[in-house]
Amino acid sequence: MAHKILEEAQEINDLLIKWRRDLHQIPETDLELPKTVEYISKRLDEMNVEYKVFPEVSVIIAQIGKGDKCFLLRSDMDALPVEEETGLEFASKNGCMHGCGHDLHATILLGAAKILKAHEEELPGVVKLLFQPGEETFRGAKAAVEAGVLENPHVDAAFAAHVFAAIPCGTIGYGVEAMASVYGFKITLTGRGGHGSAPEGCIDPINAGVEVYHALQALIARECPPSAEAALTIGQFTAGNAANVIPERCVLQGTLRTFNEEVRTMLIRRINEIVPAVAAAYRATCEIEELSNVPSVTCNEELNAEYIKSIESLENPGTTINGGFHVMGSEDFAVISAKIPASYFVVGAGVEDQSKWKGQHNPKILFNEKALPLGAAMYAKIAMDWLAK
């Protein structure tokens, strides 16, 4: 059966490539993915797969099989607000880009759906398929859970994977503490605007913002143990529209990532202590807004072992499986893995020419489409094996 599943995935390789390239040309962001939802819905209709769409948040929940046991396969499908620079014939042209491989993820799940539908009568339970929006903004998994993805029927276990463009194609990675938690925040500092020639009559929020920035960097350098894995990044600092005008406001947005819950709690508390104090020292007022708050992706070790056996049973030439996957990046699949037993793997999708490898989110990133049939077979086989155990 395992060989047959891989063969079935390879037989639809041309279709997988078409789906991926179609999706690549219609990238959409966050929770508003009308074209993406429409495209995936049409493909599910063609397969006669039962599904439900939650259009207000662009969530698609499909279902294959019947029975008491229920297994969830999840793929994200949102893109990035990045102008594509790949030069591909099927490159996007709308100012957004699938620069993290979510077009491959959605395609892999569609491929798994096609395989599972062909074996529906053999399934001793239900496979749910979650096509999720908003992973990049850490809002999609929460929206899917609120839409009821884990209930009716109740999901017993789950699996998700992510393609990486700087890992050789055929390489599978897994771990226990796979990805870090993330706390996203927005700091708005308000001063008093005025003419650049008279700063003494103004309250400069940029000055306050610079000092807030330095104070937050000192949190990691001076208040975290050297052994603590923690990263605090201010990725956006915006203020003003003219060189000779002191603005009213300055905005800083950033993320805090760690695997240590105690360190995470301490740092969030200190952010909320330090920012108002620094702002007050420079006569500005401040507002701190939470943009995201997602725990670490913690994988179930027993499921890790089971899923690895399923992948090994495919006997795909060139596949290597490596443990120890542990990165500071974050994933809102953590919202699901915190509620039910789950595991999260990575799939190599590096192109043959390693000199062209780019990191995730790079506007020139390229993905190897040879990862598509392996991914589809892997998803389908993991679900089938778990239901059959």
Q: Which two tokens stand for residue 45?
A: 């209709």
- Secondary element (H or E) of residue 42: helix 34-47
Count CA atoms within 13 Å of residue 42 on its CB side: 8
Residue among 123, 130, 129 at smallest CA distance from 144: 130
55 three-state secondary structure: coil
Known binding residue 195? Answer is no
φ/ψ bin of 58: left (φ > 0), alpha (ψ from -120 to 50), beta (otherwise): left
Give the angle 286-292-298 at the CA atoms, nearest 5°.
140
- Secondary element (H or E) of residue 294: strand 285-294
CA distance 258 to 10: 39
Known binding residue 136? Answer is yes
Known binding residue 299? Answer is no
Counted residue by residue, the chain has a size of 389
Instruction: Find the farthest-apart pair of alpha carbons in the chain and give their distance in angstroms, rounded.
Output: 78
Count CA atoms within 13 Å of residue 95 on its CB side: 2
User: Taking a C-beta distance cutoff of 8 angstroms, is the pair 116, 383 a contact?
Assistant: yes
User: Taking a C-beta distance cutoff of 8 angstroms, is the pair 299, 342 a contact?
Assistant: yes
Bridge partner list, 294: 182
CB atoms within 10 A of CB 88: 12
59 three-state secondary structure: strand
Known binding residue 361? Answer is yes
Task: Specify the residue for token string 């959605």.
Answer: 106
Binding residue numbers for Mn(2+) = 100, 102, 136, 162, 361
Binding residue numbers = 100, 102, 136, 162, 361
